[in-house]
């Protein structure tokens, strides 16, 4: 179950490249198949997917409530990642793991 990230949260970011004409298919695969699996990971907080459709680049960020949770899901995440990129005919460019410093930026409304 998704929940808000608090102190100690961490993020796994994955950069992927697909042929631009396959970008829509990759987004749908992520939305309809991979997202469900990712959301079931222990310690899951949230996920974001950013896409440059014209160039075929995407980056996903999965937030976990702790470094331990992120570390415990490494093998499972690798399986999901490999299957997803294979089904989308994509290529994993890089995977990084980070401490989450700012989870929400709330800017006061200005008149």
Express each pLDDT in 80-95 by its tens digit: 999 988 988 999 999 9
pLDDT for 56: 94
* pTM for this prediction: 0.85
Beta strand pairing call for 10-17 and 57-64: antiparallel
* Region of residue 43 (phi > 0: left; psi between -120 and 50: alpha; otherwise: beta): left
- Tell whether 108 is covered by a domain: no
**pLDDT over threshold 60, residue 2:** no
pLDDT for 36: 92
- SS3 category, 80: helix
**pLDDT over threshold 60, residue 69:** yes
- SS3 category, 111: coil
Residue range 7-20: mean pLDDT, rounded: 93
- Tell whether 94 is covered by a domain: yes
| CB 30, CB 83: distance < 8 Å | no
Which domain does 61 fall in, by range?
10-99
- Tell whether 40 is covered by a domain: yes
Count of domains observed in the chain? 1
CATH number, domain at 52?
A: 3.30.70.100
Q: Which two tokens stand for residue 59?
A: 């980056």
**pLDDT over threshold 90, residue 108:** no
pLDDT for 103: 66
- Tell whether 79 is covered by a domain: yes
Higher-confidence residue: 50 or 102? 50
């Amino acid at each position: 179950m998704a929940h808000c990230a608090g102190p100690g949260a961490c993020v796994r970011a994955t950069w992927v490249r697909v042929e631009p004409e396959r970008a829509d298919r990759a987004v749908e695969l992520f939305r309809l198949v991979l997202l469900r699996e990712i959301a079931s990971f222990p310690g899951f907080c949230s996920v974001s997917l950013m896409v440059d459709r014209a160039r075929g680049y995407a980056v996903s960020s999965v937030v976990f409530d702790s470094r331990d949770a992120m570390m415990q899901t490494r093998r499972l995440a690798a399986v999901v990642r490999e299957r997803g990129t294979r089904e989308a005919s994509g290529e994993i460019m890089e995977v990084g793991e980070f401490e989450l410093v700012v989870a929400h930026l709330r800017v006061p409304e200005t008149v």
